[in-house]
Amino acid sequence: MNDKMNDTIHEKMTIAEFEERLPEFFATGTGRVSDDPRFQAFLLENPDSAALVRDLEYIAEHARSLFEPANDVEPSDQVWDKIQSQLNATPPHATAAEE
């Protein structure tokens, strides 16, 4: 099926058909159905479907961010030095006889 025919099918889709195939559209596209030119006319004519797509894109974006590494900040050299000095120090429970 050529792209022109495919575009026409998407424009003539019912809301129920769109919602039924929405997971497929998310899975096979860029993850941004609202940016897909094939659906622009449909989404303009169906504001409830457009709102659903926006909500799902928002949820998907935030779900992906849960798997992104956090902005880990390395401790400063001062912290590492303090840790090292405490590791090298005599344990607090040691007595003079043990030293």
Distance, in Å, from the CA atom of 29 to the CA atom of 1, rounded to the nearest integer, reads 17
Tell me if the pTM is above 0.85: no
Reported as a pLDDT band with limits 50, 70 and 90, residue 70 is low
Reported as a pLDDT band with limits 50, 70 and 90, residue 32 is confident
Q: Exposure string (b/e) for 49-71, b if CB count within 10 Å is 16 or more? A: bbebbeebbeeeeeeeeeeeeee
Cβ–Cβ < 8 Å for 53, 21: no
Cα within 13 Å of Cα(59), Cβ side: 7
The domain limits of the chain are 3-65
